[in-house]
């Protein structure tokens, strides 16, 4: 699965948002995500497994609990893939700025 396929799912993005604030027990992740998305514990567990398998999350045992944390590997991979497009952004933003300025001038002229 491609990094953007992993990030394309809103449930997985929400889990990553939760983990960005620090480690969380699996039960805590399930409580939040199941409540917000109306999905079952097994469904949340599948999303957590996908995040682990693709380098976005780690898990460690703490007695009977499983503690999840954000892993940089997947995020670094996604960032590297985006990097190739970032060089195009300034041109596009400059073009957008020009179009906005034209619209402002046209409205002033019509007023």
Task: Give residue limits of the domains in the chain.
Answer: 3-110
Beta bridge partners of 69: 58
pLDDT at 41: 96
User: Residue 62 has what DSSP assignment?
Assistant: E
CATH topology for 3-110? Arc Repressor Mutant, subunit A (1.10.10)
| pLDDT values of the chain reduced to their tens digit, one per residue, 111 residues | 788 899 999 999 999 999 999 999 999 999 999 999 999 999 999 999 999 999 999 999 999 999 999 999 999 988 888 887 777 777 777 788 888 988 888 888 887
Tally Cβ neighbours within 10 Å of residue 77: 17
Q: pTM for the complete prediction?
A: 0.75
Tally Cβ neighbours within 10 Å of residue 44: 22
């Amino acid at each position: 699965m491609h990094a953007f396929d992993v990030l394309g799912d809103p449930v997985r993005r929400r889990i990553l948002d939760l983990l960005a604030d620090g480690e969380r027990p699996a039960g805590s992740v399930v409580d939040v995500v199941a409540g917000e998305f109306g999905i079952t514990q097994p469904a949340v567990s599948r999303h957590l497994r996908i995040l682990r398998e693709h380098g976005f999350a780690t898990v460690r045992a703490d007695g009977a609990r499983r503690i999840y944390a954000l892993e940089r590997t997947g995020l670094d991979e996604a960032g590297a893939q985006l990097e190739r497009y970032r060089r195009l952004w300034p041109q596009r933003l400059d073009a957008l700025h020009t179009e906005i300025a034209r619209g402002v001038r046209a409205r002033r002229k019509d007023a």
